Amino acid sequence: MTRKQRRMTIIGGSLAVLALAAALVLNALRDSIVFFSTPTMVAEKHVAPGKRFRLGGLVQPGSLQRGENLAVTFEVADGSAKLPVAYKGILPDLFREGQGVVAEGALDANGVFKADTVLAKHDETYMPKDVADALKKQGHWKDDYGTQASGGAAPAATTAQGNPQGAVR
């Protein structure tokens, strides 16, 4: 084997190993690439209890119940499906029924989403794109959602502790 053939063999082998590594990483992250899942997506995917993910949707009006020691339960809906959420902690100031929310946590064995973080929005017209698309599909979309949002700055999310999402604590 000449030097040129040996060099080309090493380069080809290296590229094959790199391609295999990239394919394995992308395959492992396939379900994690989505920023959040809607209740309909959770029902369709049959998410296993204990698997962490982000749940996004609208807080169902009339579902918010406050308990002892900062315990809160509410339902998150996307127009066609609802998922009960349990959270223990201080909710963001802008959290309320009928508004968009993203919660981080996992399902328990009873099908209740146990959230450890709840994100709320700054701008009253902000709505995650997937939720807006789901509402349009279901016919629950209001025309003034998009018109008010286009006039201002980009909305940001806050955590339950009041810190902007992505801020250094």
Predicted model pTM:
0.58
User: In this predicted model, what pLDDT tens digit does every residue of 81-128 receive, in sequence order?
Assistant: 899 999 999 998 888 888 889 999 999 999 899 999 998 866 556 667
Beta strands at 113-121 and 82-88: parallel, antiparallel or unpaired: parallel
Question: For residue 168, what pLDDT is reported?
Answer: 42
- The Cα–Cα gap between 1 and 107 comes to 59
Least confident segment among 14-18, 145-149, 165-169: 165-169
For residue 164, pLDDT beyond 60: no
Of all residues in the chain, the percent with pLDDT exceeding 90 is: 36
Q: What per-residue string of b and e applies to 6-18 under the rule 16 or more CB within 10 Å gives b?
A: eeeeeeeeeeeee
